[in-house]
Structure 1
Amino acid sequence: MSATLPVADQRMVARAALRLITADRRAVTVLTVLNVLAALAGLGGPWLLGRIIDTVAAGAGAGAVDRLAAGVLACAIAQTLLARQSLAIAYRFGERTAARIREGFLRRSFALPAAVIERVPAGDLAARGTTDVDAVATTLRDILPNILIGVVQIVFIVGAVLLLNPLLGIVGVLGLSGIWFATRWYLRVARPAYLKEGEANSRLADELAATTSGARTVEAYGLARRRLDAGRAAIAETRRTRLATLGLRSVFFPSVEISYAVPSVLVLLLGGFLYFEGHVTLGTVGAAVLFLRQLVGPLDMILIWIESLQSSSASFARIEGLAAVPAGPPVSTKLPEGDRIEISHVRYAYDEGRDVLHDVTLTVRPGERLAIVGLSGAGKSTLGRLIAGVDRPSSGSVAVGGVPVADLPPDELRRQVVLVTQEHHVFRESLRDNLMIEAPDDELRRALKTVGADWADDLDRDLGEHPPDGAQAQQLALARVVLADPHTVILDEATALLDPTAARTAERALAAVLHERTVIAIAHRLQTAHDANRVVVMEDGRIIEVGTHDALVEAGGPYAALWRSWHS
């Protein structure tokens, strides 16, 4: 079963952005002040150029023009220095904020319930943690500072034109209405389009991950054509969504480019008329046109980046979607009293589908070896996951020492029950870091020796450069179990993927780990059931027999039939 991670709405994204800004409010304040000063310095140039025109028209000498020209140069230098310092602060702010987003994403990923992690398509979470996080980080570092500078410049330039001549200013602002309408349309249609593109990217990443991780299975069963067809379909969907966003841009940007010239044309026409009527000076008209032409730079910068801003806004919504995953119930503060595991009237269904476990009741006594057997699909692994606290029953309870297993905090759960499967993750870190437990080196070495990991003599060995084989990875996983020291170990096909020689090595390691612990073995080889203290037989999500191996064989029921079939 797979699930889909939610996507945050615009309100959640806005609140998250506000939290990020508030977390670095000092840098934002300094950044805003510098941008305001840079914008004010930028206004001096056009105003002084207008004064130069009026000075020349009045017949003043070269000295007056030189002084005004020096003022223009001083304004340009001041604007450059202030803008440079502003960008430096903005980039540092962007990097710090991007780091906060990455850290927050990791915290939320680790806080997700294990059941959610396992059911979400691998490509979805991977795409959010890589492509989406990188897109938001780029926005914070490169785009937002430029947009902030552009917005401040636009506000001051429009204010300057209105102060210079209100009528010319109003006409110039009205000339910008075409840009406003085009931008409003684009913002309305772009976000859904970019969200669809992000979903398509996640599906493509998931298809690629599934195909590459299962390459041997694809080869063994001749599934290459089917996987290629699935990959081509995902690529086609990704291409379609990207062309859709490209189509929006191909309408938006040409419309904006045409609109740039409209304010200047309107001001020139009206300004010429007012000049000939004697209502304004030539310098005023020239300054107004220069101010409006100055708008092109920040407007162009904002509108160029707005496409990336829409894309990163959709990415931010996908990142913040992790916060919308329903939180599990609060962890229990009560500690288990004893090691007895009680399973009482448990029902369970995946994603609100039909029940796969039906009214299962069972007691696991401390220190016993219990084997759970049955045909594929009987519910054995599901029951194991419930006992290990990975999943929570739909109804009924699974408790250890009187406390529901799924309510235990992770550290306490690890000391109670550990699930060992056939899949063992090895991190690209040192052997010491891969053991996942902070403990003295001699304790780590004892754990490795217990499981027969003679190859693991150097705790600083980089397992990224020297990855262990299947049997060694199994030993590493078992060493983690030794260090966690749980009283109950659940085995679910723990050696199924190993070759016979490696399996024998792993089984010797298992024997050392399981000594004096409660063992629940989800058995596919009935020799495991033969050696257990008790055998639980499951069929269609129900327990249909419980007893010792000999008693069940003598009873001649379903287990006896399984034993005869396996033994023959």
Structure 2
Amino acid sequence: MGATEHGLPVTGGRETASEVWRLSRGYRLRLAAVGLLGIVSTGVDLIPPVAIGFLVDRVQTGTADLGTVLTVTAVMALSALLGAAGTAVTIVLATRVYHTILATLRERLVGRAMTLPQHRVERAGTGDLISRSSDDVTAVADAAPAVIPVLTVTAFTIVVSLGGLAALDWPYAAAFAVVLPVYALAMRWYLRTGPRVYRAERAAMSARAQQLLESQRGYATVLGFGLADQRHRAVMTNSWSVAVQALRARTVQSMLNARLNLGECLSLAAVLVVGFVLIDHGASTVGGATTAMLLVLRLLGPVNQLLFVIDTLQSALASLSRMIGVVTIPAADAADASTTPSDLATAVRLREVAFRYGDGPPVLDDIGLDIPAGQHLAVVGPSGAGKTTLAAVIAGVHRPDAGTVTRPRRTAVITQEVHVFAGTLRDNLTLAAPDATDRDLRAALDTTGAADLLDQLADALDTVVGAGGHPLTEAQAQQLALARLLLADPELAILDEATAEAGSAHAEQLDRASEAVLAGRTGIVIAHRLSQAATCDRIVVMDAGRVIETGTHDELIAAGGTYARLWAVWQAGQHTSTIR
């Protein structure tokens, strides 16, 4: 399994084939039936060339009459009808199996993607994962109309037609076989060139998707810092990269087409020359040569289609290998499994934890921490102290570069950037608890102080919110997130400035909601306001990625250290706000 340095893995040909074979389990009998039906259908399609050759010989000898013509016509019409019907049924059956297997693969892709640890997705780039679950799925699905008829019909046509040529007169088959190296060389060239070009095209699409996603997600930052032109140039640069790679892919297609045309000309010329020689020596008839030419003409189309569709097939396989690369990520990597400490009295335990982003400076350095079960811990410190990173490491979003982290299996995190999904209010809440009743949902909203939200919505829980629906304020969105957490009922709840709503009008209400949510469970609060920290059982003060103080609010105030100074500044700020 290959991968870029930081990207998600891409499987090789053998691994892709093995996974597709596993996915076909339960459909193999149906696939065998498709193959048998395809061979029979193409066998029936050999009747018209043979019938025309027979008619030519009868005409040449003067023994053909109206009955002969009518009989040959009827046989050709019947064989064409049966062959078309068999081909249609073959394609329909093959398409159903194809899309069923693709649907299974898509479900597994989404299921595995949802269990990937966030640190791995962020390192690879969210655009990569989105591209695999959208562009690549579309590429594989769109390949069906071109690939299925070829693989289920033309491959059989080639085999059966070659057998018919050999049965008619082996020199005709030999003449066609002599030209096959031209097709083999074309295929060899294409297999060396095509996959690399298509992988580059897909990688460029992933990079473009990443740029677009970052620009959309960071819209406010882009506007705030005047980065619109810079982001526009970045998107345009990646878009042009996609265009360049697409042009390279289309050039490869044109070069393949030229090689196929050469093979077609040589094939016709070889069979014509052999037919002339055989007829001249009395070893074949004009009817036989006619049949051979019709069989070769019948072969040229499928041969060209089979080789040229490899262009589409290679593009689809490049996408398929990227999809399967995600599906086959080992379960140990897909789920950053947490374990419950053997000492049930301790919910979270950190030992000598260190972390840095990429090659940057250490963000966490030698962190050691124990959080007893049921305790509420506040983490405070100046901006850049490592508070959010510590929360992410404890939650499993990031893996520590050194040290160990132990936490409960059922851990939930709420950050300041909460998301309202497009859908009903009920759908947004039941994401956390699919089996929750309406009574449970209303109770969760009531506990988080959002009960009055239902009175504002025309259809109560059935009101569509989020994009295209009823807009929620930032405070309401945070209350919704807290209600989700309450319904999920985790053992450990981490609130990373989850109540640091833009305006302060609802601050007290949100603080009460967070206290209600944390009741009865272990909680970690990355405190935006020191009033939140003061209500917690214990406070950890961080600076420059290290824990510099720990204790209760009263203990830290009495110590007169960093926390005491932060508290004094906080109090002064609150006093100033009150005077104003």
Query: Scaled by the length of structure 2, what TM-score is found?
Result: 0.89
Equivalences for 1:416-435 in 2 at 5 Å?
417-435=411-429
**What is the aligned counterpart of 1:209 among 207, 210, 213?**
213
- Partners of 1:207 and 1:333 lie apart in 2 by 36
Post-superposition offset of 1:326: 4.3
Amino acid at match of 1:376: S
Q: Equivalent residue for 2:349?
A: 343
Q: Which range is displaced more, 158-167 or 555-564?
A: 555-564
**What is the aligned counterpart of 1:220 among 215, 219, 224?**
224
Q: Equivalent residue for 2:252?
A: 248
Equivalences for 1:299-378 in 2 at 5 Å?
299-328=303-332, 338=344, 340-350=346-356, 353=359, 355-378=362-385
Secondary structure of 1:424's aligned partner: coil
Q: Which range is displaced more, 433-442 or 329-338?
A: 329-338
Amino acid at match of 2:62: G
**What is the aligned counterpart of 2:24 among 21, 24, 29?**
21
Q: Which range is displaced more, 446-455 or 553-562?
A: 553-562
1:346/1:393 contact within 8 Å kept: no
Secondary structure of 1:60's aligned partner: coil
Q: Are positions 1:43 and 2:46 aligned together?
A: yes
Q: 1:380 to 1:162 in 2, by over 3 A?
A: same
Equivalences for 1:470-485 in 2 at 5 Å?
470-485=474-489
Q: Matched residues, percent identical?
A: 36
**What is the aligned counterpart of 2:440 among 431, 439, 443?**
443
Q: 1:185 to 1:23 in 2, by over 3 A?
A: farther
CA RMSD of aligned residues (A): 2.5
Amino acid at match of 1:4: G
Q: Equivalent residue for 1:168?
A: 172
- Partners of 2:16 and 2:317 lie apart in 1 by 8
**What is the aligned counterpart of 1:387 among 385, 394, 416?**
394
Equivalences for 1:49-128 in 2 at 5 Å?
49-62=52-65, 63-128=67-132
Amino acid at match of 2:349: I
Secondary structure of 1:171's aligned partner: helix
Equivalences for 1:484-563 in 2 at 5 Å?
484-563=488-567
Structure 1: which 5+ residue stretches go unaligned?
A: none
2:108/2:327 contact within 8 Å kept: no
Amino acid at match of 2:29: R
Q: Equivalent residue for 1:236?
A: 240
Post-superposition offset of 1:267: 1.0
Post-superposition offset of 1:149: 0.8
Q: 1:108 to 1:367 in 2, by over 3 A?
A: closer
Secondary structure of 2:354's aligned partner: strand
Q: 1:559 to 1:166 in 2, by over 3 A?
A: same
Q: 1:179 to 1:60 in 2, by over 3 A?
A: same
- Partners of 1:74 and 1:485 lie apart in 2 by 69
- Partners of 1:160 and 1:467 lie apart in 2 by 70
Amino acid at match of 1:446: A
Q: 1:41 to 1:371 in 2, by over 3 A?
A: same
1:40-80: CA deviation from partner (whole Å, max 9, x where unpaired): 01111111111111111121131233323322222111111
2:356/2:364 contact within 8 Å kept: no
1:139-172: CA deviation from partner (whole Å, max 9, x where unpaired): 2455223322111101111111112111121111
**What is the aligned counterpart of 1:292 among 296, 303, 307?**
296
Post-superposition offset of 1:487: 4.5
Post-superposition offset of 1:298: 1.4
**What is the aligned counterpart of 1:455 among 443, 449, 453?**
453
- Partners of 2:329 and 2:454 lie apart in 1 by 40
- Partners of 1:502 and 1:278 lie apart in 2 by 101
1:536/1:545 contact within 8 Å kept: yes
Q: Are positions 1:399 and 2:429 aligned together?
A: no
